[in-house]
Amino acid sequence: MERKRQMDDNTPLEPPPKRRTSTPLGHNRIVAPALPSAATPRMCEVCGEDKSINSFPNATQVSSHDHEHDVCHECFTMHLDVEVDSKMWDQVSCPQCPSLLQQHEIQNLATPECFAKYARFARRAALSSNPDYRYCFSTSCESGQVHEGQEPVFSCQECGHRHCTVCEVDWHKDETCEQYQSRNQVQKEYEAESEATLQATSKPCPNCQARIEKSDGCDHMLCSQCQHQFCWACLADFIPIARHGLHNHHPDCPNHRPAGDNNEDMIAHAGAMLLMANGRFQEMLEEVFGFRLQ
């Protein structure tokens, strides 16, 4: 802050002080602009430390920018670590401006590990523009390679994982592609069929989502998992139906009756169903029917 105050006090006759030098500025005295030298520290924009000029990238190391380089080597290197890890390989940019960095600039300023990673990403991007490039199917491997020729099996050079490039599945050992595909087709049809059967004969409990199978003709379902009772046809909660009547079914439900036109048999059936549910329904049974289960 001392430096700032002195700059404000400067008379207009004085040349502007060189940026970020610690050369003391006198009052009413011409001060020659300090030339950068190894002995003149500069402040890093990122870490705020005063460092010698050699601690900053020079114009050869970072050639594609028209600004001074005010981020020290250490901070520049850390910036590159983050950039290479978090961005597309060709989007790595300068810490001070939006300019993208050239490969030689990254090579000059990144750690060898960081540059190797960058080079690997760049190489993979170049390869993957090849239509014969295939990624490894292993979920723990990010590698890929150009796969040419008629042989369907892809063997990853990085991890050894194998997959079929024709069927696009993990390698079907002991089967040809035709054998694998016809077996897979039969299996898929079977699975689709059993899924359709399951969809037709079961529904998720509206309370706990457990799959409830309909075993007889009765529409009053009792979830074996959470004891929730509901109507199979309209999924309406069964308790208001038992308490207040069949108008509590959905209007489109075959079990629905208009209010005041309640079918006594169905109400009685509802009561019987409630009796089947014990435990947590005891209190409610008492309230609705005026008695307790033994």
**From the CB of 139, what's the least distance to Zn ion, in Å?**
10
* DSSP secondary structure of 107-164: HHHS-HHHHHHHHHHHHHHHHHTSTTEEE---TT---EEE--SS--EEE-TTT--EEE
**From the CB of 174, what's the least distance to Zn ion, in Å?**
12
Adjacent-strand bridge partners of 258: none
Q: Is 211 helix (H, G, I), strand (E, B) or coil?
A: strand
Q: Verify binding: residue 141, Zn ion, rule CB under 5 A.
A: yes
Please name which of 284, 202, 270, 195 lies closest in space to residue 238, comparing C-alpha atoms.
270
199 versus 224: smaller Cβ distance to Zn ion: 224
Q: Verify binding: residue 96, Zn ion, rule CB under 5 A.
A: yes
Per-residue burial over 231-256, b = 16 or more CB atoms within 10 Å of its CB, e = otherwise: bbbbbbebbebbbebbebbeeebebb
**From the CB of 30, what's the least distance to Zn ion, in Å?**
32
Q: Verify binding: residue 165, Zn ion, rule CB under 5 A.
A: no
For Zn ion, the binding residue among 255, 270, 277, 285 (CB under 5 A) is: 255
**From the CB of 109, what's the least distance to Zn ion, in Å?**
12
207 versus 262: smaller Cβ distance to Zn ion: 207
**From the CB of 187, what's the least distance to Zn ion, in Å?**
15
Q: Verify binding: residue 246, Zn ion, rule CB under 5 A.
A: no
Q: Verify binding: residue 53, Zn ion, rule CB under 5 A.
A: no
231 Cβ contact partners less than 8 Å away, ≥ 6 residues apart = 219, 220, 221, 238, 241, 249, 250, 253, 255
Q: Verify binding: residue 143, Zn ion, rule CB under 5 A.
A: yes
**From the CB of 110, what's the least distance to Zn ion, in Å?**
15
- Number of amino acids touching Zn ion (CB under 5 A): 40
Site map 167..186 versus Zn ion, x via CB under 5 A: x---------x---------
Are 23 and 31 in contact by the 8 Å Cβ rule? The answer is yes
80/62 Cα distance (integer angstroms): 13
230/245 Cα distance (integer angstroms): 14
Residues that bind Zn ion (CB under 5 A): 44, 46-47, 65, 72, 75, 94, 96-97, 99, 136, 138, 141, 143, 152, 156, 158-159, 161, 164, 166-167, 177, 205, 207-208, 210, 218, 220, 223, 225-226, 228, 231, 233-234, 236, 249, 253, 255
